[in-house]
Amino acid sequence: MRRRPMVWVGLLLGVGLLGWYFWPRSVPPPSVVEQPPLHPSSPRILFAERSVPIPEDNPQTPAKVALGRKLFYDTRLSKDNTVACASCHRPEFAFSDGGKAVSTGIFGRKGTRNAPTLTNVGFRRHLFWEGRSPRLELQAVGPLTAHDEMGLEPEELAQRLQAIPEYAQAFQEVFGEPPSLRAVTYAIAAFERTLVSYNSPFDRYQAGDDQALSPAALRGMELFFSEKGDCFHCHVGPDFTDDEPRNTALYTVYKDIGLARATGKDEDVGKFKTPTLRNVALTAPYMHDGSIRTLREVVQHYNRGGEPNLNADALIRPLGLTDQEVDDLVAFLEALTDTSFTTNPALLPPGGKGSTP
């Protein structure tokens, strides 16, 4: 009789242990927003840590950058004193031309191509739409001397700047010589290498802020880096460009023959350089001639597979995206906008908008 309580205690302990063992465990709650996997080509580093390549013959100095910044915003570098570099590359539009299909040069002359953004231009391996210039110092010669852009002969440019005491002194201090076309382009190139932009919602997401992208932008990012969206083959790397010329089947017959103008080759007709997508939402209209007004229309162009063209890039094909997927891709592209870049005081006109030395 004395052993019965011990038996009951043993049975109760046994049942308790079995119940503890077989009782269903609580399942960890799912994450609030399931993040799509990043494509291997998607950058995972903090791009702000990238260093702009500096050519050995044009070392970067604060004084040279300051001089280049003044020149960039100065309309006196044009024949009729109306056009500066910044006239076609405006900071509020990520240094593009703010809604204009083609830019207006001296005496109201119209250009033939859309002014590209200068976002991260120091990283580009090829410049101009067909990529004919390998470096910024050479590229700047084009608009400074072009008939329908700024239109100054080298000697006239040098004499005009030498007559301005502030410039005469600055060129002497920076280059140890009077103003010249070469020194002007070197100073402007030094400033342009400071146009660095890596602080968009996408960058913050890459840095670990899971709330930086909207659900639509996250879906768009997954599409962008997928074979279905097929954007990442050409818009690759930290700046979303491979810097290569491609025919994107914009037209069946191109009025502007693109790369073929430089090479003379039939297979290069209609080829233009892949533009960066950094700040692309600020740089409408789009394509080399500014013929497409909105980002959504650009995505729809690629979704249709473009127009029939013998030189069309092999990647151009109908994508079969739904309207929702088109919207999602646009949302992702908009998330590449860096407003700290367009409002950075160090990149704006020195001394206030429109001021000159």
Please give the single-letter amino acid code of residue 259: L
Q: What is the per-residue burial (b if ≥16 Cβ within 10 Å, else e) of 194-209?
A: ebbbbbbbbbbbbeee
Termini Cα distance of the chain: 110
Tell me the C-alpha to C-alpha distance, in Å, between residue 246 and each of 114, 177, 262: 17, 42, 14
Secondary structure, 3-state, 216-250: HHHHHHHHHCCCCCCCCCCCCCCCCCCCCEECCCC
Beta bridge partners of 273: 245
The DSSP-derived string for 14-65 is HHHHHHHHHSPPPPPPPPSSPPPPPPTTS--S-GGG------TTS---HHHH
Q: Containing H/E element for 272?
A: strand 272-273
Q: Binding site residues for heme c, as ranges?
A: 85, 88-89, 231, 234-235
Rounded CA-CA distance 141/329 in Å is 37
Rounded CA-CA distance 204/355 in Å is 34
48: nearest Cα among 197, 210, 213, 239: 197
Q: Binding site residues, as ranges?
A: 85, 88-89, 231, 234-235
135: nearest Cα among 190, 183, 74: 190
Count Cβ atoms within 10 A of the Cβ of residue 296 and give its class: 0-12 exposed, 13-18 middle, 19 or more buried.
Answer: middle
